[in-house]
Homo-oligomer: A and B are copies of this chain.
Amino acid sequence: MVRGEHFHLGRDSSEEEEDAMAHPFCPGYQNEPFRSLASEYPEADVFPRGQFRIEWGPIFHRGRLDGTARVLVIGQDPAQHETVVRRVLVGEAGRRLQGLLAKLGITRSYVIVNTFLYSVYGSVKATTRRDPRLVDYRNRWLDALLVDTEVAAVLALGGAADEAWQMWKKTPHGQAFTGTYAPVTHPTQPESFSKGDKAKLAAATKKLLSNWNVGLQTLAPALAHPDAPTPLVLYGDTWADGDRLPVPESDFPAGLPTWMHEQDGWARRVGKDAVEKRRNITIMVPKGIVQ
Contact = CB atoms under 8 A, between A and B. Distances in A.
Interface of A: 21-25, 27-30, 35-36, 38-41, 49, 55-60, 84, 86, 253-257, 259-260, 270, 275, 278-285, 287, 289-291
A52 to B, nearest CB: 11
A121 to B, nearest CB: 10
B27 A29 contact: yes
A253 B284 contact: no
A21 B36 contact: yes
Contacts of A41: 22-23, 255
Contacts of A60: 254-255
Given A27-B35, A275-B291, 14 more contacts: A21-B40, A22-B39, A25-B29, A28-B30, A38-B254, A49-B290, A55-B289, A56-B257, A56-B285, A57-B255, A57-B256, A60-B255, A86-B256, A278-B290
A257 B40 contact: no
B55 A290 contact: yes
Nearest to A279: B285
Contacts of A291: 49, 275
A174 B40 CA distance: 42
Nearest to A281: B283
3 nearest CB pairs, A to B: A57-B257, A38-B254, A27-B30
A270 B49 CA distance: 28
Contacts of A38: 23, 25, 254-255
A256 to B, nearest CB: 5
